[in-house]
């Protein structure tokens, strides 16, 4: 079981209605995208963090580590906006490098800040859903929204095979380490290639075994999962509606008062 899935099943928000959590995540994500505002991004990042850590009981250190991976990727992505190489120094900073300058402008810094906070807040919305709602509950919500059954089955099978392939890769890697297959850079590359090819072959074999197991249980082309029913509460619906109303009013105000900030 991967870390996110394990944390999800221990979350105190697991038994909250999945439709409520999905609506909250999607509406808040749309607000971040529409606003492209650093202020909205910070507010959403704080709100989802409090819900995930304080209400859900997810350890703060784990949550920060989960955000660190996309955060590092976003920093690398926004560096192209923040840093320029030019013969002419810009107004924010300028470091001489021969005949050129490693420089940046205040406009670029503001744009990069907005992009970084908006993207990180959007990721936090998805983390809130992933760290509080099991996959089967999410699929049940999508089924109520009339998502095609084929798409739902593909999602479930892909989700299942993530665990299968991770388990195979972990077992093979442990075996390689036990045989000193990673004692040098060259041996590590060779072991990695061998591991990837073995996982590919074994996953195909495992898929055949899973299909045989389904056939032995009278599989008729439809995967049926028994969802857990968690009724929606009026207080939670009112709270989500009030939060989203205030959030979208803030988005509209920022748009009318001169764009994203």
19 assigned to some structural domain: yes
Residue 68 sits in the same domain as residue 193: no
Residue 86 sits in the same domain as residue 170: no
73 assigned to some structural domain: yes
Residue 64 sits in the same domain as residue 14: yes
Domain that holds residue 117: 3-133+231-256
Residue 37 sits in the same domain as residue 91: yes
The answer to whether 242 touches 248, Cβ cutoff 8 Å, is no
pTM of the model: 0.80
Q: pLDDT tens track of the chain, all 261 residues?
A: 577 888 888 889 988 999 999 999 999 999 998 888 889 999 999 999 999 999 999 999 999 998 998 888 888 888 777 777 777 777 777 778 777 777 777 787 788 888 888 999 999 999 999 999 988 888 888 888 988 888 888 888 888 788 778 888 888 888 888 887 777 888 888 888 888 888 888 888 888 888 888 788 877 777 777 767 788 889 999 999 999 999 999 999 888 876 555
Residue 122 sits in the same domain as residue 248: yes
Eight-state DSSP code of residue 2: -
Per residue in 27-68, pLDDT tens? 999 999 888 888 999 999 999 999 999 999 999 999 999 899
CA triple 118-112-69, angle to 5 deg = 60
d(CA 3, CA 99): 49
Residue 8 sits in the same domain as residue 74: yes
Residue 164 sits in the same domain as residue 183: yes
| Count of the separate structural domains present in the chain | 2
Residue 25 sits in the same domain as residue 111: yes
Here the contacts of 3-8 (C-beta below 8 Å, separation 24 or greater) are: 3/62, 3/66, 4/66, 4/130, 4/131, 5/134, 5/135, 5/163, 7/58, 7/62, 7/131, 8/130, 8/131, 8/132, 8/133, 8/134
């Amino acid at each position: 079981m991967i870390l996110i899935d394990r944390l999800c099943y221990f979350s105190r928000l697991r038994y909250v209605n999945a439709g409520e959590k999905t609506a909250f995540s999607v509406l808040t994500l749309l607000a971040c995208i529409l606003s492209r505002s650093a202020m909205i991004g910070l507010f959403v990042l704080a709100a989802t963090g409090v819900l995930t850590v304080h209400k859900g009981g997810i350890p703060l250190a784990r949550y920060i580590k989960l955000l660190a991976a996309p955060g590092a990727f976003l920093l690398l992505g926004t560096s192209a906006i923040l840093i320029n190489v030019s013969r002419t120094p810009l107004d924010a900073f300028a470091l001489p490098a021969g005949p050129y300058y490693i420089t940046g402008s205040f406009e670029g810094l503001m744009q990069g800040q907005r992009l970084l906070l908006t993207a990180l807040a959007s990721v936090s919305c998805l983390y809130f859903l992933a760290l509080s709602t099991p996959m089967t509950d999410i699929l049940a919500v999508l089924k109520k929204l009339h998502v095609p059954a084929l798409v739902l089955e593909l999602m479930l099978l892909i989700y299942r095979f993530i665990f299968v392939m991770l388990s195979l890769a972990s077992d093979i890697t442990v075996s390689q380490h036990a045989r000193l297959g990673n004692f040098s850079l060259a041996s590590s590359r060779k072991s990695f290639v061998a591991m990837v090819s073995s996982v590919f072959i074994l996953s195909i074999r495992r898929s055949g075994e899973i299909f045989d197991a389904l056939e032995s249980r009278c599989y008729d082309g439809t995967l049926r999962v028994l969802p857990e029913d968690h009724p929606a509460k009026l207080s939670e619906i009112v709270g989500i509606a009030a939060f989203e109303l205030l959030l979208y009013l803030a988005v509209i105000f920022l748009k009318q008062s001169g764009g994203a900030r």
